[in-house]
Structure 1
Amino acid sequence: MTELSTTVPALAPAAVEALVRRVYGIEASTRPLAGERDQNCLVEAADGSRYVLKISNPSESPAVVDFQIAALDHIARMSPEQPVPRVVRTLAGHTQDTVALTERVRTRVRMLTYLDGIQIRETVRTAAQRRAMGAGLAGLNRALHGFAHPGAAHDLLWNVATAHRLGEQLDSLVDGKQRALAQAFMTRFTTHVLPRLASLRSQVIHNDCHLYNVLVAPNDQARIVGIIDFGDMVHAPLVGEVATAAAFHMAGNADPFEGPAQFVAAYHAVLPLTGAEQEVVADLLATRHLITALISEWRAARYPENRAYIMRHNPAAWEGLAQMADLSRDTARDRLLAGVNVHVPTGATP
């Protein structure tokens, strides 16, 4: 929990602009962007170019920062058509630099290209858009297949495969009904999912493909033009990627499985889920809601000044758990996989 327990860096705008000038040779104005662990800034250069400057949380491991940079460079080399940010080199030709937060604390700084587009959360969701997101994420996972880095196995709470480590947070839930609901899904995870995870495919995944992190074209809101925020990347079971992303499509329809089913079917058409993955994907969708609820409740109490950002997914997470509470595991699985007609052999590869 170290990264989530350390205050986000807060360099003043003038200091950020001086940093951009010194490290990148760019005269620019800056303004803050939201972030959970890092200080993020939009950099607007005099010539109209825009970038995103990321000042890492000082508790973030240097290996993790290297990992995130290396992954973007890997995608740029292996699959340049992917709509992801590019790493901007410093004046010295490096992918990152350091900055002093205090006399005794230094941290890493890096800059990425800014992608234009509309966040999907600001659009009217459609079936075509969900299918585009599913296919797009599958394509990104194909691009990341085979990528390896020492920092990829870092310890991350936002990993559905390690949800059991949040068990101690259950007792901190004040609402008794919410606590019972969370406990039921934690038991489902530890009993039915956790023992199977080691046998499933794993690779580096984006791990945060939600409606804030996917951009679409203004004139075609079913065309994906950007996948951003690689801060939660981790080496983990591939099916966790699918479940995590699908969880964000439950809200907004009379049938809460309509959107997730469309998303999963499109993903499966590009990168088929194995039979074993299909058996647990709905469980992991619920697990994503569970960890969202637990982590956001804990962090909002700890950092009330950032409560609006931290709690943005909290209501939907509790709603999703409530909608799944009375369904059997088999029923939830079948409804989520309604658009997946063919079970492929366990062990299939991208």
Structure 2
Amino acid sequence: MGDLGGLAADQELGRHNTSAGTSSCHRTCVAASTEAYFRAASAILSTPPDEPEPDISATLLKRHYGLEGSIAVLSSEVERTSEVSLQDGSKLILKTSTRREAIDSFRFQSAALAALQNSAGFAAPTLIPTSDGALMFEEEGISGYLQTRIEGLSLHKETPTPDLLSRTGSALGRLDLTLGQVNLPAADRPVLWHVGCWPRLMELEEYLPSGSVAASVRRAMAEYIQVIEPQIPNLEWQVTHNDPSPFNTIVTSDGLGFIDFGDGCWSPKIQDLAIAASHVVTDPTLPLGGAEHLIAGYAAVLPLSALEARLLVGLMRARQSALILINYWRSHLFPADAQYIKKNVARAERGLTILAPLSAASGEAAVLAAMSRPSP
């Protein structure tokens, strides 16, 4: 662990150049596609979440931050996430875990939030350093970090107007511009949502419901393996959020914000756009189901390369399929939490159905048309 000043120095040293980016991409491509990486990443999501223990959270809050407040445990799939209400009315988020692998995850998350402080064009939680100035705390058997809570409504509760989706895309583009300037610790830790794992996810096919959903997933993943995966190393890679879903995108009075960097990693830059766009495919009368607006907003800030435009629709379909596969599997493992785990599944299934008719050529044409759209 380091302090904010040390992190800033590390980031300055870690700013990308072409040779360093290419080397990191190659290493990560190889590592994330291995059996060992997939098994390690699968093991993390097949372990039951930590039991909520508010008393321990209160003790940790006092010990490491000198703060006191009421504790409310929030829904969480892996980490223990607690809302802290201080006496002055402000609210903070405390993330903790007793798992060994959480240390690397928290190192990444806390460093990401520190790197995003004072950024323009989007909001992110502010990291609260420990009493001794560290980004996170780690003691025997437990680790964690503290952040502010962004006030606003999550995107999934808002009406997805063209203007809102365009502004969401623009904010995501600015987030990726910022993340593209830094290297963060533990960015290569096992993450099952990493594209390198996707070819192996068909092992989970047995947990899918039979019928059209399973057939659509099989087609999308076959396309990914045959057409897209061989070109993944040729994309531009950087640190990404890797889960800018409507639940992790917050509409605030000052613009759009992003929370929960727990799946963040070193991956293709276009992955963030593919994920965000895959969640807003809802309108069957439009070629990309309404994702056109989000894509246009993103591309206005961060233009897509020819290869990114060509692969985007296939990446969107593969991400929808990955979400369906992983969450049906995890719902089987944890039936009591199935409703929370599957909160995005119906949206992914609908989106995959809408995108299914697009050929590679028509998908690319739809993306290029979206990129040329004027702002709503």
Deviation at 1:17, TM superposition (A): 1.9
Q: Which amino acid aligns with 1:315?
A: A
Q: Distance in 2 between matches of 1:209 and 1:198?
A: 22
Deviation at 1:148, TM superposition (A): 1.1
Contact 1:116 1:226 in 2 (8 A): no
Q: Distance in 2 between matches of 1:107 and 1:165?
A: 32
Task: Describe the shift of the 1:335–1:112 C-alpha distance in structure 2 as closer, same or farther (beyond 3 A).
Answer: same
Q: Distance in 1 between matches of 2:98 and 2:359?
A: 41
Q: Distance in 2 between matches of 1:73 and 1:227?
A: 14
Contact 2:240 2:265 in 1 (8 A): yes
Contact 1:160 1:287 in 2 (8 A): no
Q: Which amino acid aligns with 2:370?
A: G
Report the equivalent of 1:21: 62
Q: Which amino acid aligns with 2:308?
A: E
Report the equivalent of 1:54: 95
Q: Which has the higher contact order (CA 8 A, sep 6+)?
A: 2
Contact 2:71 2:84 in 1 (8 A): yes
Q: Secondary structure at the match of 2:370?
A: coil
**In the alignment, structure 1 residue 324 sits paired with structure 2 residue 355:** yes
**In the alignment, structure 1 residue 114 sits paired with structure 2 residue 149:** yes
What count of residue pairs does the alignment treat as equivalent?
Answer: 332
Task: Describe the shift of the 1:181–1:80 C-alpha distance in structure 2 as closer, same or farther (beyond 3 A).
Answer: closer
Aligned counterpart in structure 1 of residue 128 of structure 2, from 76, 85, 88: 88
Deviation at 1:21, TM superposition (A): 2.0
Q: Distance in 2 between matches of 1:225 and 1:322?
A: 28
**In the alignment, structure 1 residue 303 sits paired with structure 2 residue 338:** no
Q: Distance in 2 between matches of 1:57 and 1:260?
A: 39
Q: Distance in 2 between matches of 1:233 and 1:48?
A: 30
Report the equivalent of 1:251: 282
Task: Determine what percentage of the aligned residue pairs are the same residue.
Answer: 28
Report the equivalent of 2:325: 294
Deviation at 1:253, TM superposition (A): 6.2
Within 5 Å, give how 1:1-350 maps onto structure 2: 1-56=42-97, 58-76=99-117, 79=119, 82-98=122-138, 106-217=141-252, 224-251=255-282, 254-255=285-286, 257-341=288-372
Contact 1:260 1:336 in 2 (8 A): no
- 1:105-156 residue CA offsets vs partner (Å, 9 max, x unmatched): x131111011111112111121110010000000011111131134112221
Q: Which amino acid aligns with 1:83?
A: A
Name structure 1 gaps, 5 residues minimum: 101-105, 343-350
- 1:280-333 residue CA offsets vs partner (Å, 9 max, x unmatched): 001000011000100000001101121111000111111222222233122223
Q: Distance in 1 between matches of 2:268 and 2:285?
A: 30
Q: Distance in 1 between matches of 2:244 and 2:194?
A: 13
- 1:32-52 residue CA offsets vs partner (Å, 9 max, x unmatched): 222221110110011112100
Deviation at 1:255, TM superposition (A): 3.0
Task: Describe the shift of the 1:57–1:169 C-alpha distance in structure 2 as closer, same or farther (beyond 3 A).
Answer: farther
- 1:239-273 residue CA offsets vs partner (Å, 9 max, x unmatched): 11111110111125643624211111111111001
Q: Distance in 2 between matches of 1:321 and 1:58?
A: 34
Q: Distance in 2 between matches of 1:276 and 1:317?
A: 24
Q: Secondary structure at the match of 1:55?
A: strand
TM-score (norm. length: structure 2): 0.83
Task: Describe the shift of the 1:109–1:291 C-alpha distance in structure 2 as closer, same or farther (beyond 3 A).
Answer: same
Q: Distance in 1 between matches of 2:211 and 2:289?
A: 30
RMSD: 2.0
Q: Distance in 2 between matches of 1:82 and 1:250?
A: 23
Q: Distance in 1 between matches of 2:242 and 2:158?
A: 22
